Amino acid sequence: MIPVSALPPAFIRSLEGIHGFSRESFEAVHASGEQVTSIRFNPGKLANCQLDTANRILPLAEKIPWAAHGYYLSERPSFTFDPLFHAGLYYVQEASSMFLEQALKQSTNLDQPLRVLDLCAAPGGKSTHLQSLLSKESLLVSNEVIRQRAAILEENMVKWGAPNAIITNNDPQDFGKLENFFDVIVVDAPCSGSGLFRREPEAITEWSGQAVQLCSQRQQRILADSLPALKPGGVLIYSTCSYSKEEDEAILDWLLDEFSLEPVVIRIPVEWGIVETRSEKHAACGYRFFPDHLQGEGFFLACLRKKDGDRKTGRLSKKPALQKASKNEVAIASPWLDGAIPMQWWKQDEMVLAFPALLEQELLMITDKLYVRHAGITMGKMAGNILVPDHALAMSTGLHAGIVGISLKKEEALQYLRKEPVNLPASEQGWALVKYQHIPLGWVKVLSNRVNNYYPSAWRILKSGNN
């Protein structure tokens, strides 16, 4: 609950005159203490679980009108103690930001193979969402500049299990080397964060007019650095969780002054409660979310198309960082996948990777120009003629359904996720997949006298208890 007096007067004054802003209801909704919790299912994993199972596990309430797999929850459960959260069945995401789906669907032909960049991607809310919306022939590059945050992004993307994603850890400037490469670039920019004041009241103390100005300058730098990588005809989706015009409408005017772009209109039913706004100079449309108008936090999004221009593209400059896997390695690794997508097989040090064959040129280009943390499916390490399966393979939606699986009860699943010893029913010796409610959680190795737990140490549950 945020007392009215806690919202900085300079902040409230700066919002006066913004279309849709009503001081009274805005202050009241911040003072109400109401918390909205929402999740978005992973359609790549939902088929294995069935919505009615998920329904028994999560307190699902209404659907989020602008996101096909988004749901409000009637209360906030303890996600840490839900094994399906760790298995990547769903992502806990703020509802307003799922509006990205409308921007993408209404601006872009999603049946085409697309190259999509999520430039400021950690912890992965937009990236997991984008991946669910793209065709399997499309490529998603999820980038995060801050190393520790890139690790969290990687964890969330690996859990999501998509084979057609690459995770990079680069500065926006580095994307200048990929001239005219992407069909869509999403810039969910670092911002002054006023849209999240209700959920994170501690952020209020960090707000100042000066911080807004600094954010606005940084947003311009990020956009200027990344725009050369957008193809002519391609779409830029820009968003912030700030209400400030300097970070929202003024950025649209700046973009239209500096670059060859045109605004894209997104149709929104009035009952969704989203406010359509126009920039002062070019009347470019943007979409603003106020928590007193709808169930969600503060958010702003706009969509622009790059007009025709130079179509010059970059070239590979050096020897590929990846080598092709040998025939023998492919023969050993390929039975672990379901074969639904034709794969190209790669080797990096001792690791075998599978990446959609159709995207070979894209993979080579990205590994040539950027620092890649993760690409496609990390299958595992070769140990002689045996593949030691990687955790990413267990999480992958491409995993072969015939692989031996052991179903765990909730308490056993939590033991496994804490990386504690697990007692399993007698089963064949060797690698086995442990599952909860039909969804893979990871690998164990069954030996004659014990079972080794291969859950990644860095991801284990540290909190004690079970609810």
List of residues contacting ligand SAM (CB under 6 A):
120-126, 144-146, 149, 172, 188, 190, 218, 222
In the complex, minimum distance from the CB of residue 94 to ligand SAM, in angstroms, rounded to a whole number: 8
In the complex, minimum distance from the CB of residue 275 to ligand SAM, in angstroms, rounded to a whole number: 20
Closer by beta carbon to ligand SAM, 171 or else 420: 171
Closer by beta carbon to ligand SAM, 172 or else 296: 172
Count the residues in the chain.
467
Rounded CA separation 144/262 (Å): 27
3-class DSSP state of 463: coil
Closer by beta carbon to ligand SAM, 214 or else 447: 214
Closer by beta carbon to ligand SAM, 38 or else 437: 38
Closer by beta carbon to ligand SAM, 104 or else 322: 104
3-class DSSP state of 389: strand
In the complex, minimum distance from the CB of residue 154 to ligand SAM, in angstroms, rounded to a whole number: 13
Structure tokens at 443: 């690998």
Closer by beta carbon to ligand SAM, 115 or else 126: 126
Closer by beta carbon to ligand SAM, 93 or else 378: 93
Closer by beta carbon to ligand SAM, 120 or else 444: 120
In the complex, minimum distance from the CB of residue 205 to ligand SAM, in angstroms, rounded to a whole number: 19
3-class DSSP state of 453: strand
In the complex, minimum distance from the CB of residue 144 to ligand SAM, in angstroms, rounded to a whole number: 5
Contact 432, 463 (CB under 8 A): no
Place of tokens 């007009």: 307
Q: CB under 8 Å to 266, separation ≥6 — which residues?
A: 102, 103, 106, 107, 285, 287, 303
Q: How many other CB atoms are there within 10 angstroms of residue 288's CB atom? A: 23
R_g over Cα of the chain: 23
In the complex, minimum distance from the CB of residue 428 to ligand SAM, in angstroms, rounded to a whole number: 40
In the complex, minimum distance from the CB of residue 466 to ligand SAM, in angstroms, rounded to a whole number: 27
Residue 347's H or E segment, with its range, is strand 343-348
Closest listed residue to residue 175, CA positions, set 221, 239, 107 = 221
In the complex, minimum distance from the CB of residue 315 to ligand SAM, in angstroms, rounded to a whole number: 25
In the complex, minimum distance from the CB of residue 203 to ligand SAM, in angstroms, rounded to a whole number: 12
Contact 293, 20 (CB under 8 A): yes
Closer by beta carbon to ligand SAM, 39 or else 353: 39
Closer by beta carbon to ligand SAM, 191 or else 408: 191
For 120-157, the DSSP string reads S-TT-HHHHHHHHHS-TT-EEEEE-SSHHHHHHHHHHH
Rounded CA separation 367/383 (Å): 25
User: How many separate helices (H) and strands (E) can be counted in the chain?
Assistant: 14, 23
Rounded CA separation 57/448 (Å): 35
Q: How many other CB atoms are there within 10 angstroms of residue 287's CB atom? A: 24
DSSP 8-class letter at 96 = G
In the complex, minimum distance from the CB of residue 89 to ligand SAM, in angstroms, rounded to a whole number: 18
